[in-house]
Amino acid sequence: MTTRPNPPPGEGARPGPDQGRDQGRDQGRDQGRDQGRDQGRDQGHSQDPARDGPEESIAGLAQERTSLAWTRTAIAFAALGGVVLKANVVTGLIIVAVAPVIWHLGRVTLGTAPAGDRLPAMPVAGATRLFIIAVTIAGVALLCLIVAIFGKSVPGALR
């Protein structure tokens, strides 16, 4: 299995042609990052805020961004339910009902952390929540597949 360098959040992988030339610089940067990460475990942020920026260096903001991402996901579910409602009322209502559940799952992330820039406590049920999301989306997609193939269409609704 091929691998790529482990980038810090918000930073993409470096292109291949530059890899050899920048190896030494990357190595130094990685060492600095690892050191910052180790220190970050104790203090909640790295020792290089100029590189991280205030948004990346404060763990509480990362937690808030994650909570907002959960909210966007819940809104996406509600939007999907709205579209499905046009085709199949029962299926649409089921999907709309899933939206608040998703939002509540996201609140678990927000509720387990102290305020400020201290290290938040990680939610215990992290893997379970994400597994539920993945299975729910796959199930909803299969429902939509059935509706798309066998359901009565409303042609021209977007005309």
Partner 1 sequence: MSWSNRLALLLPGAVANDTGGTEPDPRFTFANERTFLAWSRTALALVVAGLAIVQLLPPFPGVPFGRHLLGVPLIALGAVLAVVAYTEWVRNQHALRRGEPMPKSNVPWILAATITGMAIISAIVLLISAVR
List residues binding partner 1 (CB under 8 A). 1-10, 13, 34, 37, 40-41, 56, 59, 62-63, 65-66, 69-70, 72-73, 76-77, 79-80, 83-84, 86-87, 109, 119-120, 122, 124-128, 130-131, 133-134, 137-138, 140-142, 144-145, 147-149, 151, 153-159
Q: Using an 8 Å Cβ cutoff, are 10 and 46 in contact? A: no
From the CB of 8, what's the least distance to partner 1, in Å? 8
Query: Is residue 119 packed enough to be buried (19+ CB in 10 Å), middle (13-18) or exposed (0-12)?
Result: middle
State both tokens at 77.
Answer: 């579910």
Nearer to partner 1, 21 or 148 (CB): 148
Rounded Cα–Cα distance for residues 154 and 92 (Å):
15
Nearer to partner 1, 21 or 92 (CB): 92
Rounded Cα–Cα distance for residues 108 and 136 (Å):
18
From the CB of 118, what's the least distance to partner 1, in Å? 10
